[in-house]
Amino acid sequence: MATPPQPQQQGAGPYNPYGAPVPQQGGQAGPWHAGPQPYGAYGAHPEPGRYGCRLCGAWPAAHATVRGHQGLIVLMRFLSLPGPFCRDCGLATYRRMSSDTLWQGWWGPLSVFITPVTLLMNLGPRASFRRLAPPAGGYRPALDPGKPLWRRAPFLLLLTPALLVLLAVPALVVVGLVAGEPQLTSGQCVRNEGSWTDQDLEVLSCASPRAEYRVTERPDTPGARCAPTDYVSDPKYGRDEFTTFCLTRLR
């Protein structure tokens, strides 16, 4: 009695979705399944039903949208580039659009507020791209991410005025302490560059021809009184801004 023919194996052929070697006559695998096949070259996508990077076709890819903003004095432009992106193409797109926004996004009254929001929104896609594995299996090379955003010229240009503002606060405090109102002490000589209701006293050497008055008694000291021809200094020239002195004319 003849042996009935065996049924053909289903799913065999060069496009087997699992990438397993297909048995041939003699038990040898076909030459097109000699090893793992890259995605896009007679191989199966590692995750069926999902798409690779929109720029290079590589996998894995994340679905994320990178945004940008341009301020045009009166008008403005909202830019966006949706994914999916592989790790390298996504980081390259994020860094390019964020860098452009850093120097193009501030030129408008509303853009001053929209630009920082746009930059913060791009942090989410950036985190998604950084979590991806290196791209593989694309139909073209992935983009070069380039320098990190904080090392690019627009970021450094923005950082410079921010640092100046931060340094200006302690600098103003120091200048105020050094160039503030002089504190008078008995025996000094001064000149009043303002009126007596709005004094502007300048401490000078008593030998200077510009000196007009000598600082004498403190009228708030018990038993001390200014002479009838003396003037009284403004309390702002005292150590605690409450102390006054008598100013006696030199000549």
DSSP 8-class letter at 238: S
Using alpha carbons only, give the angle 189, 191, 192 rounded to the nearest 5 degrees.
140
Q: Is the pLDDT of residue 226 over 70?
A: yes
* pLDDT score of 134: 94
Find out whether 91 and 54 touch, Cβ atoms under 8 Å: no
Residue 201 to residue 31: CA distance in whole angstroms: 99
Task: Lowest mean pLDDT of 2-16, 26-40, 67-81, 195-209, name the range.
Answer: 26-40
SS3 content of the chain, % helix, strand, coil (to 5): 30, 15, 55
Q: Is the pLDDT of residue 123 over 70?
A: yes
**Confidence label for 98 from pLDDT (cuts 50, 70 and 90):** very high
Domain definitions of the chain by residue range: 34-151, 181-251
Residue 191 to residues 55, 94, 182, 198, 239: CA-CA distances in angstroms?
Answer: 76, 64, 12, 13, 19
The pLDDT tens digits of the residues spanning 173-217 come to 666 555 556 778 888 888 888 888 888 888 888 888 888 888 887
Q: Can you read off the two tokens belonging to residue 120?
A: 């913060």
CB atoms within 10 A of CB 240: 7
Q: Is the pLDDT of residue 23 over 50?
A: no
**Confidence label for 70 from pLDDT (cuts 50, 70 and 90):** very high
Q: Can you read off the two tokens belonging to residue 181?
A: 């109102």
* pLDDT score of 10: 44
Q: Is the pLDDT of residue 82 over 70?
A: yes
Work out the percent of the chain whose per-residue pLDDT is above 90.
Answer: 29
Tell the burial category of 90 from Cβ atoms under 10 Å away from its Cβ (0-12, 13-18, 19+): buried
**Confidence label for 250 from pLDDT (cuts 50, 70 and 90):** confident
Average pLDDT, the chain: 76
The pLDDT tens digits of the residues spanning 134-178 come to 999 899 999 999 888 888 877 777 766 666 667 767 766 666 555
Residue 164 to residue 227: CA distance in whole angstroms: 51
